[in-house]
Structure 1
């Protein structure tokens, strides 16, 4: 039995914003239940259960039709918890795996058949270290051959260091959570400027998720919205959005996912911009199948 406290809000509000048909949450996790999917012994992060049924119920309430589930470090490289969730909503829920940098093409092909569309590496001080630049260069062609992408989660101070290798890779690269910039430092800060320059490479995509993590304010995280809006305006065809449910390692009480949805009104005002961010862009990158 998992006695750890949950990290998600059990009573999210219903958003005022009506999302377009096909709306996609491109960044969530599922944890456990640990009685079925135990945590990796080496993981220092062992949250309360956040199973697929809770995720599905949240999405149904918010008006989200499609999703990308990102494998969490607490489950290590055993991606079966994500595969199980995808199988429950085939074609409309896809995944991103955690693998070793030298993962074989055969293994990647098997992951693709299960519904995985990318591989993630972390460059965060509280998580296991990511792949080296040489390892990324070696992996990228294998991902490209299978129409998979590379997902990068990094601290903002590392954007400048990692940008040159990411810019040269022959595969789509997605940057998580606006590069984890600190919104309190303003939009002229060097990490955000480095992120904007990195986005000039045509294979770079940026998730405008994580307003609550970038912000240093209470909800509705007003200091972070301008960053997300600037990215959407600058790269309208290569930006994505996600809730980051169930909000692991958040600094305060779990965010209200209804509030996070309503932030979209300030991030991409207008129906066409909203549809591009939530529907058209995810369709191009992930290749969703299945009936809505």
Structure 2
């Protein structure tokens, strides 16, 4: 892999936490970070790797108060975008306000440790309201249920992005029924996949050689609908916290050609998140 990433490369999945004295954590949060992860630390990390663009995903530790994410976008409005956490009854005026602030979608969690799941009919109703904004849905879920969730949500009017290679078990191999089910979902042009989270699906640890084939297959087979992110600062991680420099280096293994990296890091994020429109 070249020493530098392509111009306009995007870290399409990361978070900011706090600082808690300015952006308090939600009283009913399912987890509270041990340490803050403020926007300045995120900027420094991305800048050190040549990741010009970034998508900040609202974390459940801040609940429906998207202020920390909004603040991180506001400082770099041309190159940073956000994904919100929102109640499905959110007002249309608030959706329009968030759109003007740089948000481009809504994330829904289907992981037990992150609280009760939102009913799918409510999410589909919200999808019809965010469609005029050219937003999308983002799904983070238990692999036992997320394929059915995405199949239902993909009947709606907006794209659906699956987080972290579906959180499947890499040790079960490429031919496992779950991965084949994800690939069938990706035959639908409205479904996207984040090839972030190799560290979360690996059973071997770094450099995640059991997980690399999944990301590589997705890049090769669905190259116009894949996105990469490092998931900094790696919340609720069960194993050793990944080395972000190594995650960047591994891009060359999962996207070995210049054309693949251009699509993964530049063209796909630009299309989905509408960079440069503010």
Of 141, 153, 166, the match for 2:128: 141
- Report 1:144-159 matches (<5 A): 144-159=131-146
Deviation, 1:142, is: 0.9
> What residue is the counterpart of 1:231 in the other structure?
218
Q: SS state of the match for residue 127, structure 2?
A: helix
> What residue is the counterpart of 2:152 in the other structure?
165
Unaligned runs of 5+ in 2: none
How far apart, CA to CA, are the structure 2 residues paired with 1:103 and 1:198? 28
Deviation, 1:85, is: 0.6
Q: SS state of the match for residue 106, structure 2?
A: strand
> What residue is the counterpart of 1:36 in the other structure?
22
Q: SS state of the match for residue 168, structure 1?
A: coil
**Cα pair distance change 1:280/1:16, threshold 3 Å:** closer
TM-score normalised over the length of structure 2: 0.96
Higher normalized contact order (CA 8 Å, seq sep 6+, divided by chain length): 1
Q: Would the aligned equivalents of 1:207 and 1:239 in 2 still touch at CA under 8 Å?
A: yes
How far apart, CA to CA, are the structure 2 residues paired with 1:290 and 1:164? 31
Mean CA deviation greater in 245-254 or 158-167: 158-167
- Pair 1:221 & 2:221 matched: no
How far apart, CA to CA, are the structure 2 residues paired with 1:160 and 1:245? 25
> What residue is the counterpart of 1:269 in the other structure?
256
**Cα pair distance change 1:262/1:247, threshold 3 Å:** same
How far apart, CA to CA, are the structure 2 residues paired with 1:271 and 1:44? 41
Unaligned runs of 5+ in 1: 1-14
How far apart, CA to CA, are the structure 1 residues paired with 2:41 and 2:277? 21
- Report 1:1-292 matches (<5 A): 17-47=3-33, 48-289=35-276
TM-score normalised over the length of structure 1: 0.92
Deviation, 1:87, is: 0.8
**Cα pair distance change 1:159/1:191, threshold 3 Å:** farther
> What residue is the counterpart of 1:3 in the other structure?
none
Name the count of aligned residue pairs.
Answer: 277
Deviation, 1:16, is: 7.3
Q: SS state of the match for residue 126, structure 1?
A: helix
Mean CA deviation greater in 245-254 or 272-281: 245-254
How far apart, CA to CA, are the structure 2 residues paired with 1:249 and 1:160? 22
Pairwise CA RMSD of aligned residues?
A: 1.4
How far apart, CA to CA, are the structure 1 residues paired with 2:257 and 2:144? 33
Deviation, 1:17, is: 4.2
